[in-house]
Amino acid sequence: MKRISAFFALFLLCYAIYFDLSKGTLTLVNADHKQIKKETASEQEIEYFTMRVYSGDTLISIVEANLNAPLPVSIEKVIDDFKNLNDGLHPKEMQIGQTYKFPVYQSGRENQ
């Protein structure tokens, strides 16, 4: 009887670990207890321009040159928008001579 109980307890423990790792037991909820929806680049249109990268160009310098002003948004937002427009490519991975999409911002207000 002890062996059957031990086997059942071990089986239940393994199933609980499998379920937790594969599907999880917690969900993200907001104050109204509704499931939080993550926005993706396909759901949110980002205005952009394309440009070839030359030696010495950086993401910030290209976006500021296009804007002719300092950035009206945070650097993190610029990086995230760049990643969304370029299939997850990090700005540090830009290569000289390649053409990339860069986000367009309006000076004086944050682009939503």
Does 48-103 carry CATH code 3.40.50.1360?
A: no
Check residue 68 and give its pLDDT. 87
Name the token pair of 2. Answer: 């002890």
CA dist., res. 89 & res. 103, Å (int): 14
- Neighbouring CB atoms inside 10 A of 19's CB total 11
Query: pTM (2 decimals)?
Result: 0.57
47: DSSP letter: -
Instruction: Quote the CA–CA distance of 43 and 41 in Å, as a whole number.
Output: 5
What percent of the chain is modeled with pLDDT above 90? 46
Bigger pLDDT: 96 or 34? 96
pLDDT digits over 70-96, tens only? 889 999 999 999 999 999 999 999 999
**Cα 42 from Cα 110, distance rounded (Å):** 20
Least confident segment among 17-21, 31-35, 39-43, 61-65: 31-35
Domain range summary for the chain, segments of one domain joined by +: 48-103
Closest CA to 42 of 87, 74, 76, 100: 87
DSSP bridge pairs for 99: 52
Average pLDDT, the chain: 79
| pLDDT of 69 above 80 | yes
pLDDT at 24: 63
